[in-house]
Amino acid sequence: MFKRVVRQSKFRHVFGQAVKNDQCYDDIRVSRVTWDSAFCAVNPKFVAIIVEASGGGAFMVLPLHKTGRIDKAYPTVCGHTGPVLDIDWCPHNDQVIASGSEDCTVMVWQIPENGLVTSMPEPVVVLEGHSKRVGIVTWHPTARNILLSAGCDNVIIIWNVGTGEAIITLEDMHPDIIFSVCWNRNGSLICTACKDKKVRVIDPRKEEIVAEKDKAHEGARPIRAIFLSDGKVFTTGFSRMSERQLALWDPDNMEEPVSVHEMDTSNGVLLPFYDPDTNVVYLCGKGDSSIRYFEITDEAPFVHYLSTFTTKEPQRGMGYMPKRGLDVNKCEIARFYKLHERKCEPIIMTVPRKSDLFQDDLYPDTAGPEAPLEAEEWFEGKNGDPILISLKHGYIPGKNRDLKVVKKNILDNKLSKNTENTTPAIKTATSTPSIVFRGSMSLSLHFVFLLLTTLWGSSCFAKPAPFNVSMEGSGDEPELIFPIARTTHVPPSPSPPPNITATFIRIKDFLFNQVVDFLKENLLLIIVVTSLLVVIIFIVCCASAMSHKRKLEAYYPPKTYTPRKYMSQPSKAVEKPHNQIQDGKTTTAKTLREPTKALVGEKEGKDPRPKPKEVQKVEDVEVEEMQKDEPKKKEEPQPTTSNVTSSQPLVCSCHLRKANHTTA
């Protein structure tokens, strides 16, 4: 017998092909957040992409048929106040998507059937429970309205979206950041990968760890872990030498891996996408320009390399289409949505077949959109496998049935809430309104609020109040929603008059919120204008100081020089006869600096130029001192020429005599 060299597989010749440019989604600003998530989520109706947004986080939802250039003004889902880190479509409703953000919240959105017409700032429900940013959101595969979220606070929370409640909270199981979370086939277990290099298999309802492996990959880079259809765990990570690895683990025996493969030394985190129908795993590295795919079998080495699809440009994210969204007539077994810097490019994985008939071996029955369990049944301990559907005649997306739970379902009542409230952005008050006094409010604002409240209260008794009166609150007083349209009139009824104190508080809160919103929207403009004003004031002050300094220096030179002396003041240099210079007797530098003539237009003893007050005061003091010294000088004998010259340094005048002799 001949030894079999090449393993037989129907997926050995799978090849990838990128679509044409007119079938891509162009001019999309993909998010640049440094978080290792896919940044893209796809279902048979829509493709959602996390994009750059100013003043918060947003993601774009596009119908699959809307290809080509996307307008910059295209509406987005923009309710988060921080960058969006992860998004995930509900497997049981193609119009419901969940998002996690840096603002520590998880929001659930319901997209219109034909896509967005205007931007959507208001979610259906906001799930608040994390103390740090939320980086992972994933839906339960078989139970309706169950959502899992994991944050950087090392906590996993399982929510009942229908009621907006946190049912299960897994604390103290992860000492560090959680890199990935994945449900198993029927949703009874989850596997997690943590920064402490451990891979854990957890039963969330019992809140206990079923299996755990320390140092599944010894590298410091992030680890990813997913469940396979047979219960095994597939992980990707890095070795101690920073080589990328993939490994297969059996939860019943986590001591040694079933199989380990080393790939290359790139730094990009490998994102695994698993097809449970064909047992093929696709590995997409962030920053790579290739997609590698492997087949998982029961034969050694268990993980078989198939091929690699390579492109020129690196990928910043990747979206994976569920099996029911593929084209079975073209033998398409996978479709990816590759994110470039400004574009989303679909990539089709095809098995080459000559026949145009339906291929049963390529398309076994796959999981459908119908949920076998409700949320309450799963929390009670029931498990259910996915309800399978056949793709022989193709998948035709039907109308999504309304989400129904035992308790009040927020998703079902979205439309009714919008019709009841004329302004959807304003929420009704709680049963016990909280009165919060802000100490930062000035006394003048309180006085203005009190005046407005008094005027409004006096007008309330004269005519019906233009407010919506609802008795769904505490029952003690009518609930006022401020403001609403004036078309809503309250019929005259013997209702108690509104409480002025409560109304004053609500008006104050409303105005305060308006001021806060204005500051949030125009914070950058306010900072720029304030900075410019400070710079202008500083320049004006410096100019004024310099001008004042120059005025002072104009009348009083630096101390190293002798101050000016005018004709009105007695000067020794002026009293000297003019012929002393001709005789060769020079004056000192001090005498040369003194002016010999009065300024133009100056009368004796007067200065025509205006003087500063400080200079005038100093001169007045000097004049008084000089007047006191004049009697003393008259009593003293006049110094002779020899005395004057002896007090001054001798200067050689030979050259002057020679010059006079030659001229003569």
Secondary structure of residue 377 in the 3-state scheme: helix
| pLDDT (0 to 100) of residue 628 | 77
DSSP state of 75: -
Provide the pLDDT for residue 278: 92
| Element of type H or E holding 553 | helix 523-555
The secondary structure of 92-153, three-state, reads: CCCCEEEEEECCCEEEEEECCCCCCCCCECCCCEEEECCCCCEEEEEECCCECCEEEEEECC
523: three-class secondary structure by DSSP: helix
Burial of 416 (0-12, 13-18, 19+ CB in 10 A): exposed
The predicted model scores a pTM of: 0.62
Q: Which residue has the tokens 């020899």?
A: 642
Q: Which residues contact 1 (CB under 8 A, 6 or more apart)?
A: none
Q: Using H for helix, E for strand and C for coil, what is the string for 554-565?
A: HHCCCCCCCCCC
Q: Determine the Cα–Cα distance for residues 511 and 246; give it in Å rounded to an integer.
A: 57
What amino acid is encoded at 140 in this protein? H
Using an 8 Å Cβ cutoff, are 317 and 345 in contact? no
With vertex at residue 127, the alpha carbon angle to CA 318 and CA 115, rounded to the nearest 5 degrees, is 50
3-state secondary structure of 241: coil
Give strand pairing partners of 343.
26
**Rounded (5°) CA angle 222-171-245:** 20
Indicate if the alpha-carbon torsion angle 213, 217, 221, 226 is positive or negative.
Answer: negative
Token pair of 355 as six digits: 């026949």
Measured over the CA atoms of residue 115, residue 119, residue 122 and residue 125, the dihedral's sign is: positive
How far apart are the C-alpha atoms of 292 and 582, rounded to whole Å?
A: 107
- DSSP-H helix ranges across 577-649: 579-582, 589-592, 613-635, 641-647
| Interstrand relation of 68-69 and 25-26 (parallel, antiparallel or unpaired) | parallel
**Interatomic CA distance for residues 590 and 20, integer angstroms:** 92
How far is the C-alpha of 1 from the C-alpha of 6, rounded, in Å?
15
281 with 272: CB under 8 angstroms?
A: yes
In this structure, what are the phi and psi dihedrals at residue 160, rounded to the nearest 5 degrees? -100, 100
Other beta carbons less than 10 A from residue 232's beta carbon: 17
579-634 confidence digits (pLDDT tens) = 444 444 444 444 444 444 444 444 445 555 556 666 677 778 888 888 777 766 55
Amino acid at 456: W
Rg (CA), the chain: 43
> CA 18, CA 289: separation in Å to the nearest integer?
12
Q: Which are the contacts of 575, defined by CB distance < 8 A and separation ≥ 6?
A: none
Q: From CA 146, how far away is CA 405, in angstroms rounded?
A: 11
Residue 57: CB atoms within 10 Å:
26
pLDDT < 70 regions, the chain: 1-6, 396-506, 508, 555-615, 631-664
Q: How far apart are alpha carbons 14 and 282 in whole angstroms? A: 12
Q: Rounded to 5 degrees, what angle do the CA atoms 374, 375, 378 make?
A: 90
The two structure tokens encoding residue 658: 């020679």
